[in-house]
């Protein structure tokens, strides 16, 4: 069997973690995940390296222009480009990522499996599936709020709506040791969530289902929910306010994210109109995560 085609790796170094995360967010929004993967990791000198991996040779002048817009002219001029074997690029892009703590949870790669403290709950994501995990401010915000909620008392029926890689469902299942429903409109994401749940030892606890909105019968079968986690985007969150409120148990809690800070108020207003009041808002790197409670 022939070896896979080589891939292109472009990398550059910038000064601090906050800038690195901002730059990865900006660049990540410019490409489909099938075209490019991006990773940021800390170097021994405390600077941060950004690595972009392309399945096909990109327009390098265009990439330099994007890097200049996101990270400045110096980073664009210093960007290096190399060709590496396709079988190596995923591991190479993520092997330097440090574990990300959020409350009692730590999102990590397989290379850090043995470094998770015994008093923490590790969530391991396969390298090939690790984009869009706890390294993003929205997921970290959701995990932090989830930890806060679980310390106050265990909810009985939990939904992770728009589960993606399954990180939030896995976190809830690990902490509660009880079944969690995870849904997504993308069938590939459902398969990824199932595999990640199995990898993390909660494959029998996380029921990952392909579903759009709240229209599938599974929501009536599982609900009403005591806790809903939804880390998606502002527009769908606003659109889901009414159907979600209809599937909430009395005094249910809702954790929402995927919101740039200026978008948060319109989402808060949409849920307030459906009887959900804001209890707490946290902002990580410009991304808002909300904790709301149903009052009627």
pLDDT in tens, 55-72: 777 788 888 888 888 888
Q: Is the pLDDT of residue 172 over 80?
A: yes
pLDDT at 6: 63
With cut-offs at 50, 70 and 90, classify the pLDDT of residue 84: low
Length of the chain in residues, anyone?
296
User: Which residue would you say has higher pLDDT here, 187 or 225?
Assistant: 225
pLDDT at 89: 43
State yes or no: 231 annotated in a binding site. Answer: yes
Cα of 54 vs its chain's centroid, Å: 21
Quick: pLDDT tens for 254-263. Answer: 999 988 888 8
Return the SS3 of 85: coil
Q: What is the mean pLDDT of the chain?
A: 84
State yes or no: 223 annotated in a binding site. Answer: no
With cut-offs at 50, 70 and 90, classify the pLDDT of residue 191: very high
pLDDT at 11: 87
C-alpha distances out from residue 30 to 35, 37, 81, 127, 152, Å:
10, 11, 19, 21, 40
- Produce one character per residue of 67-87: b if its CB has 16 or more CB atoms within 10 Å, e if not: beebbbeebbeebeeeeeeee
Nearest to residue 146, comparing CAs of 231, 203, 237? 231
CB atoms within 10 A of CB 248: 24
Q: What is the mean pLDDT of residues 129-141?
A: 62
pLDDT at 213: 86
Q: Is the pLDDT of residue 128 over 80?
A: no
Nearest to residue 207, comparing CAs of 171, 225, 174, 183? 183
Q: Where are the beta strands (DSSP E) in the chain?
A: 7-14, 36-42, 48-54, 80-84, 100-102, 105-108, 121-124, 158-161, 180-184, 206-210, 225-231, 248-260, 276-284, 287-294
Q: Is the preceding omega at residue 224 within 30 degrees of 0, hence cis?
A: yes
Residue 67's φ and ψ, nearest 5 degrees, are: -65, -40
Q: Is the pLDDT of residue 134 over 70?
A: no
State yes or no: 83 annotated in a binding site. Answer: no
The span from the CA of 22 to the CA of 172, in Å, is 27
Residue 131's φ and ψ, nearest 5 degrees, are: -75, 130
State yes or no: 61 annotated in a binding site. Answer: no
Which domains does the chain show, CATH number per domain? 7-96 (3.30.70.260), 131-294 (3.40.50.150)
pLDDT at 129: 42
With cut-offs at 50, 70 and 90, classify the pLDDT of residue 170: very high
pLDDT at 252: 97
Helix pair 167-176, 137-152: axis angle to 10 deg: 20
User: Which residue would you say has higher pLDDT here, 155 or 43?
Assistant: 155
Nearest to residue 136, comparing CAs of 293, 296, 285, 290? 285
The span from the CA of 31 to the CA of 211, in Å, is 25
Nearest to residue 38, comparing CAs of 14, 17, 20? 20
Q: Is the pLDDT of residue 15 over 50?
A: yes
The span from the CA of 281 to the CA of 223, in Å, is 25
Q: Is the pLDDT of residue 126 over 50?
A: yes
Q: Is the pLDDT of residue 236 over 50?
A: yes
User: Which residue would you say has higher pLDDT here, 85 or 199?
Assistant: 199
């Amino acid at each position: 069997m022939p070896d896979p085609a080589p891939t292109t790796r472009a990398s550059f170094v910038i000064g601090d973690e906050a800038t690195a995360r901002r730059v990865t967010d900006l660049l990540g929004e410019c490409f489909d995940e099938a075209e490019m993967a991006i990773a940021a990791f800390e170097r021994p000198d405390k600077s941060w390296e950004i690595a972009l991996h392309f399945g096909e040779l990109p327009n390098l002048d265009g990439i330099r222009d994007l890097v200049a817009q996101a990270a400045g002219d110096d980073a664009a001029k210093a960007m290096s480009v190399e060709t590496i074997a396709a079988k190596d690029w995923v591991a190479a892009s993520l092997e330097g990522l440090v574990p990300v703590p959020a409350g009692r949870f730590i999102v990590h790669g397989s290379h850090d499996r043995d470094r998770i403290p015994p008093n923490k709950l590790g969530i391991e994501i396969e390298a090939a599936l690790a984009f869009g995990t706890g390294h993003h401010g929205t997921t970290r915000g959701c995990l932090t709020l989830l930890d806060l909620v679980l310390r106050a008392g265990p909810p009985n029926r939990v939904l992770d709506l728009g589960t993606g890689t399954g990180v939030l469902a896995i976190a809830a299942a690990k902490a509660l040791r009880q079944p969690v429903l995870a849904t997504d409109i993308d069938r590939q994401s459902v398969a990824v969530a199932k595999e990640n749940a199995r990898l993390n030892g909660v494959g029998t606890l996380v029921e990952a289902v392909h579903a759009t909105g709240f229209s599938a019968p599974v929501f009536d079968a599982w609900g009403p929910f005591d806790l809903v986690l939804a880390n998606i985007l502002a527009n769908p969150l606003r659109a889901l306010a009414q159907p979600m409120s209809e599937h909430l148990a009395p005094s249910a809690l809702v954790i929402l994210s995927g919101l740039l800070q200026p978008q948060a108020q319109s989402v808060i207003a949409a849920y307030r109109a459906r009887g959900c009041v804001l209890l707490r808002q946290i902002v990580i790197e410009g991304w808002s995560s909300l904790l709301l409670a149903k009052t009627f």
